Structure 1
Amino acid sequence: MNIFDDLLKLVKDELELKNCLQDLNRDIEYTFKECYDWCFKSNLSYDATILFKIDSLCDFLQDELNTGHWSEVPLSIRQAFSGTSYIKALIILKRPSDPINILQDALKCIDLGLLLGAPLKDNQDLLTQCATMLSKLLSQSHPKDERLNTINKRKSYSDHSNNFNSLPGEEICTLECPSLETFNSKHFVPQIPAKLQGCITHWPASEKWLNVNYLLKVAGDRTVPVEIGSHYTDESWTQRLMSLKDFIQTYYLGNSDTVGYLAQHNLFDQVSELKDDICIPEYCGLSRDYENSMEPDVNAWFGPKGTLSPLHFDPKDNLLAQVYGTKQILLFSPKDSEYLYPHDDKLLFNTAQVDPTKPDLLKYSNYCKAVPYKCLLETGEMLYIPPKWWHHVIALDNSFSVSFWWQ
């Protein structure tokens, strides 16, 4: 396959890649260099023992990645996994098998490196570039009738205003594409939520993403993390890695008994082709501490009607952009935190025990002291959620949202 040679050419610093496991034990380092040399310094035919060796290294590193809390995993281990994933993908491409299966397995390997690993210093874009090339070639290789076997029309959505109007709470204000100065003085500085209209209509995503076939063509073979279950505090909740195509067919368009949600995932760094379909809002350039400000974290929220984020808060400013579909959002000020009964668990300290859509006032009697605000976020609108403002989000339609967290 020519793709093998094309992926080899993407390496900018061979020495960095070859030594990316040097901080581990000598046997591990030696085995990796053996696999590396097989890819870069030989014209040997496929050898199953080489794939077995690189598989063993990937298994070892995944065990290291899953030891302790994710935030405590050393950067060197994550970078080692990235380098090992790249080498494994190269070896897979030499495997004698069906070309489409080979490309799918190689791409899945690269995606795992993107999801669990970390970029190398001098080969920072190596996995992203590999994924783009493999995904493009795979898209071209699929039979057309198999690749785009799904709906191809604009969805019509129901009118949710009656149910929304019956909800208790004050509706937050709506602004029509406010100036940066107005947004800063009226909402960002005083930290007051607002719904913004007319700010994302220029996004290519506003049209392109309405066609699920476009998403399938660009990213259908990419491996993504999907949340399975009603919401993340539910005992049966879990996460599963699957292709975007399987997620769309099973959970987004299918009639699954369980809810599947591609939630809080940085899809746009993983699938760079989709990044061109959106724009970072200019409001994200505002900061209360410009010396320590950073680029916003951009996450995708893609799922069917009924997906739910329980009442919680985030530490950063948040702009939630609704590309299509409708979401119902209930908000509470940080001043009401004690009335919302946050979990005692340190991992869920930012999540409330009370469900604001059906509060148990016998169990959570002080909830009646909290003041609710509400927002019906519809296609083409953005919601500004200030830091530590509690919010409960439920999708009333199939929807795609993009969040921008910044400080």
Structure 2
Amino acid sequence: MIKLWDLRSTSEKPVQSTSLAEDSEIGVTSMDRHPFQGHIVAVGGYDGMLTVYDMRKAQTPVTVMEASDSCLNDLRFHPERADHLFTASESGAVWHWVPLSAKSPTSSGPSGNLWLSGDLATQQLNIKEILPSLPLAVNSVDLEKVDHKKLNPSIHELFSEITQKYVEIRNTCSSQLPETDCSTLLLKVDLAINYVWEQLHTGQWKDVDPEWRKLYSHLSLFKAFLCLELEKEGSSGLVNAIAACDMGLIMGEPILDGLLSNIANSLNEKLWKLSETKRTFQENQMEQEDSIESSQLNKEFLIETIHVPSIETFLLDIMDKKPVVITGAMDFWPAMGDSRWSVNYLRKIAGYRTVPIEIGSKYTDDAWSQSLTTINQFIDDYILKPSATSGYLAQYQLFQQIPQLKKDILVPDYCYLGDCDDIQVNAWFGPRGTISPLHYDPDHNFLSQVVGSKYIRLYSEEVTSSLYPHGQDLLFNTSQVDIENPDLKKFPLFSSAPYVETILEPGSMLYLPPRMWHYVRSLSTSFSDSLSALENMKSENTGILLKIGSCQILIEKLGLLKSRQSSSSGFIYRKQNVLKLGH
């Protein structure tokens, strides 16, 4: 049922209601207006039916067609050719409704429009499946255009040719797509991908127009579909298709409501189920943790540990003032509980996904390099067995590429003290011995230890001159000193620089103020998340939060505040609650 309100009216009742029949109230799941004739509205329902209404007069639909045997999740008119329609269903089918006649949409049918032709509409439309069968529901369908004006004419022409040819192949009547046509088209797609790759690597990444990255994503999507069509037997088609999706996610721009990510997740799940051997990994059987323990560190130099500081305490006593180890803030993370991260769990969720890794113990080494590999291969080569060179999945936005893992972590409330909700979350996964050389970052940082432990040493910004930063622009925020084996003849002031240190254990979170120098070494196989918030997150809210401090005491005494976490040190608030209390 559709209900239409007039926002100019003070009445709470709709001015018009429509339904399939007078005694029917079938739930509506999707709706789109005709791009040129706004009174024409197409509606999808829970029953899989596609209905078209003329909102000028009809309370019941003019045209009713079966679009799916399951829930019709979304539908879209083509923005320029309104006689074409696209539908997506819970069953995973994506259909292209194509007019049989070449006539314009305004001349089809007795009503002057194809979609208002009633029963005649089904005789004038041909339905084509435009995606290969995928084992997942398609929740939405968006029609995006690449701005060809920002691209070279040659690549725009090639992309248009690829798009047209793919639609022609998908629209063939045969259930088995022509292998020769698919192979030829795949060669063209690879040619276009290689050309765009060169454009992405010309000059600095930040200067590349986003349209080139968007084009790379669309081409990667075409490649994934063609790989699935050409290699339906066995797992090679799935492997090649998921690799194409990941390259689009790594190098491209988000497109079509996360379609690349959804396909890659589904393919990884299918490959995991097809795998004959699901290896398990017990960390304590594979390697011994480095012998360094917290008890061996000088207590005078230990970083202070606080159990779940309240927002008020964090703002007034910690933020921008000192580093602290926070305990208890990760206790509710699924990664620490029901979805506890392990090598086997990572294989299941993301084993066949392609990711960039660093080769070498630290990025300041001359032999340091980068490579692309699957998480399964990374685990086999660098986690499960000793290697002459270290591999490190470091400072990478893994959770943006694989949202399933992001569900296992919770951004701490402390990150939301500023006016920016865009929290950068990076992953750090590697074997014992991986090192982040002494360096600083410009933002507030929360290093959260999920698996394994790390030795960490910190120096304040005031002793920067004693840490001998590199002179070159690229490494200006990195020290030249190997802090555990310093060359004091070359760097004589380093020995006088005061520091604090700690061993970060699973379930603990280290807060680092902006521009604090830090050195990190893994003592065992380790998985950490770093959550970075903008440097200017503090001052604007200081006055508000000072008011909250007095409100907090009053509310606690009255017993009116119920928080999802509490401790002897206070409460943790969500950002929206903080702002509400401040007024």
Under a length normalisation based on structure 2, what TM-score does the superposition of the two structures give? Answer: 0.64
Looking at structure 1, the residues matched to 209 and 497 of structure 2 have their Cα atoms a distance apart, in angstroms, of: 42
TM superposition shift of 1:368: 2.9
Is the CA contact (8 Å cut-off) linking 2:307 and 2:327 kept in structure 1?
yes
**1:57-115 deviation per Cα after TM superposition (whole angstroms, max 9, x unaligned):** 10011111111122222211111111111111111111146431101101001101111
Tell me the equivalent position of 1:370: 497
SS class of match (2:414): helix
Encode CA deviations 1:338-368: one digit per residue, 9 max, x unaligned: 1111111111111010122222111011223
Aligned partners of 2:201 and 2:295: how far apart in 1?
44
2 CA distance for matches of 1:105 and 1:134? 10
Match of 1:237 in 2: 368
In the alignment, what sits opposite 1:345?
472
Instruction: Find the aligned partners of 1:346 and 1:240 in 2 and give their Cα distance.
Output: 24
Q: Does 1:215 align with 2:346?
A: yes
Q: Give the deviation of 1:217 after TM superposition.
A: 0.7
Q: Which residue does 1:73 correspond to in 2?
A: 208
- Structure 1: distance between partners of 2:148 and 2:234: 30
Q: 1:143-222 counterparts in 2 under 5 A?
A: 143=276, 145=277, 148-152=278-282, 160-161=292-293, 164-165=296-297, 170-188=301-319, 190-207=320-337, 208-222=339-353
Shift of residue 9 of structure 1? 5.6
Structure 2 gaps of 5+ residues are 1-91, 94-130, 535-583
Question: Which residue in the other structure is 2:358 paired with?
Answer: 227
Q: Is the contact made by 2:397 and 2:425 (CA closer than 8 Å) also made in structure 1?
A: yes
1:56 is aligned, of 183, 191, 195, to 191
- Structure 2 CA distance for aligned equivalents of residues 80 and 22 of structure 1: 12
**Higher RCO (C-alpha under 8 Å, 6+ residues apart):** 1
Give, in angstroms, the shift of residue 8 of structure 1. 11
Aligned to 2:378: 247
Cα distance change of structure 1 residues 4 and 357 upon mapping to structure 2, 3 Å threshold: same
Q: Per-residue deviation at 1:151?
A: 1.7
Please point out which of 391, 394, 398 is paired with 1:260.
391
Aligned partner of 1:269 in structure 2 is 400
| Equivalent position of 2:517 in the other structure | 390
Give the count of matched residue pairs.
394
Is the Cα contact below 8 Å between 1:21 and 1:32 reproduced in 2?
no
Q: Distance in 1 between matches of 2:167 and 2:224?
A: 13
Provide Cα deviations, 1:125-151, integer angstroms capped at 9, x if missing partner.
1222222222222222222x2xx1232
1:339 partner amino acid: S
Give, in whole Å, the separation in 2 of the partners of 1:397 and 1:38.
Answer: 52
Is this contact kept in 2: 1:210–1:324, CA < 8 A? Answer: yes
CA contact (8 A) 1:195 1:382 kept: yes
The answer for the alignment partner of 2:10 in structure 1 is: none
Contact 1:267 1:299 in 2 (8 A): yes
Quick check: 1:381 aligned with 2:508? yes
Equivalent residue of 2:317, what SS? helix
Structure whose alpha-carbon radius of gyration is higher: 2
CA RMSD of superposed structures (Å): 2.3
Is contact 1:302-1:399 (8 Å) kept? yes
Give per-residue Cα distances to partners, 1:29-66, cap 9 Å, x unaligned: 12212222233343341322111100001001111111
The structural deviation recorded for 1:238 is 0.5
Q: Which residue of 2 aligns with 1:107?
A: 242
Pick aligned residue for 2:260 from 127, 133, 140: 127
Counterpart CA distance in 1 for 2:417 and 2:393 is: 28
Secondary structure class of the residue paired with 2:480? coil
Q: Choose the corresponding residue for 1:138, options 259, 271, 289.
A: 271
Segment drifting more, 75-84 vs 209-218: 209-218
Partner Cα distance (2:201, 2:517) in 1: 30
**Residues 294, 502 of structure 2: 8 Å contact kept:** no
Question: Following TM superposition, by how much is the alpha carbon of 1:159 offset from its aligned partner in structure 2, in angstroms?
Answer: 5.6
CA deviations on 1:214-259 (whole Å, 9 max, x unpaired) are 1101100000111110111111001110000000011011121110
In proportion to residue count, which structure has more helix? 1
Matched, 1:300 2:430: no
Distance 2:272 2:224 in 1: 18
Distance change >3 Å, CA 256–CA 21, structure 1 → 2:
farther
For the residues of structure 2 that align with 1:267 and 1:54, how far apart are their CA atoms? 26
Distance 1:49 1:284 in 2: 50
What code does the residue aligned with 1:221 have?
A: Y
Equivalents in 2 of 1:182, 1:11: separation in Å? 44
Contact 1:316 1:387 (8 Å CA) reproduced: yes
1:13: which partner in 2? 142
Residue 265 (structure 1) shift: 1.0
Q: 2:253 aligns with which of 108, 113, 118?
A: 118
Q: How far, CA to CA, are the matches of 1:40 and 1:191 in structure 2?
A: 60
Cα distance, 1:163 vs structure 2:
7.8
Which amino acid is the alignment partner of residue 360 of structure 1? D
1:4 maps onto 2:132 in alignment: yes
Amino acid aligned to 2:196? L
Aligned residues of 2:459 and 2:517 also touching (Cα < 8 A): yes
Is the contact made by 2:142 and 2:257 (CA closer than 8 Å) also made in structure 1?
no
Does structure 2 retain, via aligned residues, the 8 Å contact 1:164–1:376? no
Residues 1:358 and 2:485 are matched in the alignment: yes
Q: Aligned equivalents of 1:110 and 1:280: distance in 2?
A: 27
1:125 partner SS = helix
User: 1: distance between equivalents of 2:487 and 2:383?
Assistant: 31
